[in-house]
Structure 1
Amino acid sequence: MSCCAPGVEAAAGTAAVASPEEIRLASRDLGGGLRQTDLSVPAMHCAACIQTVERTLGRLPGVENARVNLSTRRASVKWRGEAAPPMIAALEKAGYQAHLFEAEEDKADPELSRLIRALGVAGFCSMNIMLLSVSVWSGADAETRQAFHWISAALALPCLLYSGRVFFASAFAALKGGRTNMDVPISIGISLAFGLSLYDTLHHGEHAYFDAATTLVFFLLIGRTLDHVMREKARAAVRGLVRLSPRGAMVERPDGSRDYLPMAEIEPGMRVLLAAGERVPVDGTVTEGVSDLDCAIATGESDPRRVEPGATVRAGTLNLTGPLTVVASARAQESFLAEMVRLMEAAEGGRARYRRLADRAAQLYSPVVHATALLTFIGWMLATGDWHRAIGIAIAVLIITCPCALGLAVPIVQVIAARRLFENGIMVKDGSGIERLAGVDAVAFDKTGTLTLGRPRLLGGDRYAPDTLSLAAALAVHSRHPLSQALAAAGAGLAPASSRFTDIVEHPGLGIEARQGETLYRLGRAGWALSGKGEAAQGTVLSRDGRLLATFAFEDTVRPGGREAVRKLQDAGLAVEILSGDREPVVADVAARFGIGASAGALLPADKVGRLQVLAREGRRVLMVGDGLNDAPALASAYVSMAPATAADIGRNAADFVFLHESLDAVPTAYAVARDAGRLVKQNFGLAIGYNAIALPIAIAGFVTPLVAAVAMSLSSVIVVANALRLRAGKPAKAARGSQAGRAVGGTNPLVAAR
């Protein structure tokens, strides 16, 4: 089960508290007197932390809005006034250390290292204490039993002091802030079990329960560590987008001199010199040069876009073929790429607000059980006056109703479901994604790279004369353009003709030309390759001395299993639509061929996020399936998301699921497994609640010793695990392999080259 509280320890290297002047200087002016300050709050762990931090900041004078991103541990505060509100001091008073947020490079996660060390110590101590306890349970004599109790106490002490501080520090911070959380009763139960066991050991008692205390710490730390690892994965997508921005750019001064300036110093109006192979650093307008841009980050389409003087360019796009001079139109922090990063962070912050079923159950479970234990202690004290017996029975109540079974109800099913999905070639990044996937009622697909494979293929290659196709292929091998590569692949089996060409030159945005003696061949745009005014050819052509030899048309290929996958989703009652950055006619054609009624094209990343937000306001829970750089914000903002293994790194990092095979059947398969997992989770909760309903009255009545309580607690966990294993019944769906041939989208409406 996930915890929900801050720790007292701050991240290593936390800076001193910033002064109001420093906070104001570090804030961003939003206009109209409104400023924004970003704070790092490393101790946040869950939904309860989000509420506490936002409520604490929102009450400060001058603060208009406070929003938390749990994945990045960042709080964004919008405020007005001459002096910055005392944000850091207010958070520290609430039990959360904070400092000004700074973008970080990839580095070791100190919190994860701390959790792993604590887990290792707890595992070592609990396993050795359990081995000693077996001898005691087997009937060891009094002297041996006493020696083993002292050894167990010596092992339990470092477990509690070192490993248990994860819970103790969190509980202390919560109580200091006038709140409570799940770590408070955990800390009380651990401390009471250890204290009573130490008392009984000092007085040569027959029973000691060091094993129960340390084992509880060990199991809870397993859940805490796994939860932390899953949440940290979400940060990788944002870091990947940040890395697309260069650290600086070459700027040409009015006097002709050149300086390499950091991104923060590039202002609107500056002339930025961009070489081939570099990413555009800021939004701007081309003033000199002609080139092709890879705009996949904006549109998701692999087809390069030709730019020339007067064209606008966006930060993050990749300059492919020629040098450009760009006049900056915005600062780096106001660019298209910066907007993408903000969309990702806002989306992750929204998803972090999703409260897992186990969290919701724990919120109700914790106060009820521990109030029951307290009342049990008071009742037995009043009835018998024997504090030892009263506290022993109260501990038995705490142990027998320990949330281990409740905590296992969700994660054990998710582990088994993840294994089942892996057998079908589907990787699970976040366990909560399985829970969310079970509740979706709509699916939104990207087109290129998702419904289609994004690999152009020559249409009707057998219609061309071998010599003509060989000539075209021999020219095409000298270009990295996607359509050139498709043409080269189509002519790969023909006799090579490259040795017949000389003076091979690629003209950015136009095509390739080469000579064979006095004859000039061109492969590329019709308007450039053809000189005759009467020629009506369109698209990509091969010409000889300006006269048409061949016109080439290309098609995209449908991902294997695509139509069947869409049909299965629709049969399951899910609404399906396409959200694409490609042109509207192409998107509409693909939608018709897949039997999808709703589609939208020419969408930018923000447009896709906006559409998902509209669907969310309508009460829809949407599964987003996409692969491109431009899909990353949508994948992060959707209720749940999935990407193919061929997706861009940022897309894979933003998605909850990644499927490894080419077949799109992974989507309905994952949905079916998630629904089965959801059913088993509910059954497990029923088993855990039923167990407590039977065991709790018996424990309150005093018929259960802490030892029997520990055994019963373990038995309930075993039952929950056994029920979860039923998810493995049945054979996994047959996965389609990458070697399967894809069927083509195109036919009468092929994707014609636009070079």
Structure 2
Amino acid sequence: MALTEGEAQTSAGAPPDEGVGGPDLSAYLTETGPGGRRLDLLVSGAHCAACIARIEGELADTPGVASARLNLSTGRLAVGLEPEGDPGRVVRALDRIGYPATPYDPDSARQAQDREGRELAMALAVAGFGAGNAMIFSVPVWAGLFGQELGPATRTFMQWASAGVGAPCAVFAGMVFFRSAWKALRAGRANMDVPISIGVILTLVVSFQETLLMGRDTYFDAAVTLLFLLLIGRWMDHALRRRARSAAADLLALQAPSAVLLAEDGTERMSPLRLVRPGDRLRVRPGERVPVDGVVETGESEIDNALLTGETTPQPVHPGVTCRAGALNLTGLLTLRAEAACEDSTLARIARLVESGAQFRSTYVQLADKAAAIYVPVVHTAAALTFVVAWMLGIPVREAVLRAATVLIVTCPCALGLAVPAVQVAAASRLFRRGVLVKSGAGLERLAEADHVAFDKTGVLTEGRPRLLNADPTDIARAAPLARASSHPLARALAEAAGEGPAATGAIEIAGQGIEARAEAGLMRLGRAAFVGAPLSGNQTELWFRDADGALFRFAFADALRPEAVGLVAALAERGLSASILSGDVEAATLRVAGRVGIPDWRAGLTPQGKVEALDDLKAAGRRVLMVGDGLNDVAALSHAHVSMAPGTALDASQSAADLVYPADHPERIAEAIDTARAARRRAMENFAFAALYNLVAGPAAMLGFVNPFVAALAMSGSSLVVTLNALRLLNGGRR
């Protein structure tokens, strides 16, 4: 029997830790060039920036691996393999560090994400139930500490009742953190889940000890309440990653689900898009989207590239012109020769740019992880020393354990864990009341760091649709019947300006040229200058009309500037942000808008990849860019920028890719969002400073025996309350 590639290497003397060969993964490899291959895997168990660093770092040291990139939002790990690279070795390396992987399948990825969401929702519900019900039995015990003394039997009953409700709920809800902490410890590192898990487990152990010994201090309710608060933040993080995952899916949904293939004899048949290969002949009718990138073989038409390039004017196409996937065929029947498969189309490449750009790592999360890495050895060593020293000084073992537990309870990183989520929730609430939807807490953090704004032109600084400029009402009325009979965007704008009325009968639309109809006095035409016999008049968007007597009438169109655009650019300059325009529209239209809003730095005619490259140039110059866009051609740039915003009228894919969504009619909300983000950054740093100061004071006090477990629990809760109240200050105003 023939061996698979992995089995052959194993039998030839693979290292012992590589194990057996495992399944043959060669069917899941994609050729990426001469000798290059890519393996896409679905990774389980990755939740944070530390997981990304661990996985990518491990694979970087794996022989035969050229590159590794994990998308945390989708769980997709793209591994570049060298010619001698073994895909089985990659999977085994991931298993060894606790991140099992399977070949990537979009349906499996979606099911895994949905399963994680259900688990978090269940854990959150159980923690909420446990916190509320355990408190019912704990409150009488607390009251007994202030003079309302309970009898020993009653107090013990209340403690056991609290344990019966709180402990199972804490264990169930805490599994989210326990699993993460165990993986971190196995990998020889510490994350925020390690101290949380140790604190919860030790709190439960000490509480059971006190209950069994009929002591006074138990904390079942505190343990499950802490988990409830932390699970709220964990569930919100999952929801944000789910939204990020949908951006690429929204993009690919714009592709036609099938294509019309032409056989050699001219017969047509419908084919799933995934079966289309380069060289296939396709037919695209008016009103249909181009399924894959292809070159026109026969036919003439106009295509709407607004989704791809942002250009509002339809583009004429003829034999030899390339059409991109996602473009809308407006007027004529086209026959295309496919140049790429669906997975290599323009839309698919944009989707991959979106995925690769969605991996920003929160500075605050990294700071919290670094704090946890310091916290775990320092605090737990301090607790151990407290127990040893107290025992050596003759303090009873039970009291020594309580003193060590007090150290862990009073220094539990609740304030540190809530420092950022509390601020982000408060900031998001304030912006929501102003009509701004915050989709990413890390995005809010990055918004505070932005020092440059890159605007798309169409739909952001302008209204995003052509409007008829000043024209004589009589001339409009003459051309209106033909305009009403056409589906061309400029003709529709002309018809809208004319108002309701009759459409020309017997009108015929000429692909890529215009529309004509015969009247009693002669032939009328509406369309391009050459079509009606008029001279070209410059670079302005225009339509020409020739009436039955041969008289010519010109109609000029422009995309109207939003009234608030000039004020927005000035407001951003006041806040120290420079601005530029990155547009897919023609140079003349871009220059006109740039001059009116006062932005000297602009680029026109950019493709989606071109916008990403422009952002890379700004990044290389040290700028942290806020990208504002609304079209399909902006999706990759929105994902790739330091932070991004999209108007509420933007495509679903653009809104999914953006970190914040603002009301389209109020672009001034962009400046307000920046003010709020900067205020949130100040509140977060204040919370970090308070959490550090609190632990520096409370920790030594507990070690010296000045704090008992009850006071420790109150202090721990009080520290969380302080950072929350500080965060709530954001609800009162903008720039403080």
TM-score of the two chains, using structure 2 as the length reference = 0.91
Q: Does 1:328 align with 2:338?
A: yes
Could you tell me how far apart the structure 2 residues matched to 1:615 and 1:588 are? 20
Could you tell me how far apart the structure 1 residues matched to 2:248 and 2:139 are? 50
SS at match of 1:454: strand
Could you tell me how far apart the structure 1 residues matched to 2:197 and 2:564 are? 52
Which residue pairs with 2:115 in the alignment?
Answer: 110
Query: Structure 1 vs Structure 2: percent identity of aligned residues?
Result: 46
Q: Does 1:689 align with 2:696?
A: no
Could you tell me how far apart the structure 1 residues matched to 2:286 and 2:297 are? 16
Which residue pairs with 2:41 in the alignment?
Answer: 39
Total equivalences in the alignment: 708
- Given candidates 55, 68, 74, the residue that maps to 1:72 is 74
Could you tell me how far apart the structure 1 residues matched to 2:383 and 2:537 are? 87
Conserved? CA contact 2:286–2:330, under 8 Å: yes
SS at match of 1:201: helix
Q: CA deviation at 1:297?
A: 3.2
Conserved? CA contact 1:42–1:98, under 8 Å: yes
2:143 counterpart letter in structure 1? S
Identify if the C-alpha distance between structure 1 residues 453 and 19 changes in structure 2 by more than 3 Å, giving closer, same or farther: farther
Which residue pairs with 1:430 in the alignment?
Answer: 440
Which residue pairs with 1:94 in the alignment?
Answer: 97
Q: CA deviation at 1:439?
A: 0.8
Q: CA deviation at 1:316?
A: 2.0
Q: CA deviation at 1:195?
A: 1.4
2:662 counterpart letter in structure 1? F
Which residue pairs with 1:479 in the alignment?
Answer: 486
Q: Does 1:348 align with 2:350?
A: no
Q: CA deviation at 1:246?
A: 3.0
SS at match of 1:641: strand
Conserved? CA contact 2:387–2:401, under 8 Å: yes
- Given candidates 586, 591, 597, the residue that maps to 1:588 is 591
SS at match of 1:542: strand
Could you tell me how far apart the structure 2 residues matched to 1:395 and 1:705 are? 9
Answer with 165-174 or 354-363: which moved more.
Answer: 354-363
Could you tell me how far apart the structure 2 residues matched to 1:210 and 1:418 are? 32
Conserved? CA contact 2:675–2:734, under 8 Å: no
Structure 2, unmatched stretches of 5+, are 1-18, 145-149
SS at match of 1:326: strand
Structure 1, unmatched stretches of 5+, are 1-16, 734-755
Conserved? CA contact 1:70–1:352, under 8 Å: no
Conserved? CA contact 2:311–2:586, under 8 Å: no
Q: Does 1:488 align with 2:495?
A: yes
Conserved? CA contact 1:267–1:331, under 8 Å: yes
Which residue pairs with 1:752 in the alignment?
Answer: none
Conserved? CA contact 1:471–1:497, under 8 Å: no
Which residue pairs with 1:470 in the alignment?
Answer: 477
Could you tell me how far apart the structure 2 residues matched to 1:150 and 1:358 are? 35
Q: Does 1:135 align with 2:172?
A: no
Could you tell me how far apart the structure 2 residues matched to 1:18 and 1:429 are? 44
- Given candidates 722, 727, 730, the residue that maps to 2:730 is 727
Aligned ranges 1:207-356 → 2 under 5 Å? 207-350=217-360, 355=365
Identify if the C-alpha distance between structure 1 residues 19 and 522 changes in structure 2 by more than 3 Å, giving closer, same or farther: farther
SS at match of 1:282: coil
Q: CA deviation at 1:473?
A: 2.4
Identify if the C-alpha distance between structure 1 residues 439 and 629 changes in structure 2 by more than 3 Å, giving closer, same or farther: same
- Given candidates 561, 579, 585, the residue that maps to 1:576 is 579
Q: CA deviation at 1:310?
A: 1.7
Conserved? CA contact 2:426–2:730, under 8 Å: yes
Which residue pairs with 2:716 in the alignment?
Answer: 713
Which residue pairs with 2:130 in the alignment?
Answer: 125
1:137 counterpart letter in structure 2? W
Could you tell me how far apart the structure 2 residues matched to 1:474 and 1:54 are? 63
Q: Deviations over 1:135-161 (max 9, x none)?
A: 011122211111111111111232133
Which residue pairs with 2:13 in the alignment?
Answer: none
1:471 counterpart letter in structure 2? R
SS at match of 1:75: strand
Conserved? CA contact 1:61–1:85, under 8 Å: no
Q: CA deviation at 1:106?
A: 6.2
Q: Deviations over 1:680-704 (max 9, x none)?
A: 2222222222222222221111122
Aligned ranges 1:549-560 → 2 under 5 Å? 549-560=552-563
Could you tell me how far apart the structure 2 residues matched to 1:317 and 1:243 are? 13
Aligned ranges 1:588-607 → 2 under 5 Å? 588-607=591-610
Q: CA deviation at 1:117?
A: 0.2
Q: CA deviation at 1:312?
A: 0.7
CA RMSD for the aligned pairs? 2.4
SS at match of 1:86: helix
Q: Does 1:667 align with 2:674?
A: no
Could you tell me how far apart the structure 2 residues matched to 1:611 and 1:156 are? 55
TM-score of the two chains, using structure 1 as the length reference = 0.89
2:262 counterpart letter in structure 1? E
Q: CA deviation at 1:353?
A: 8.7
Which residue pairs with 1:382 in the alignment?
Answer: 392
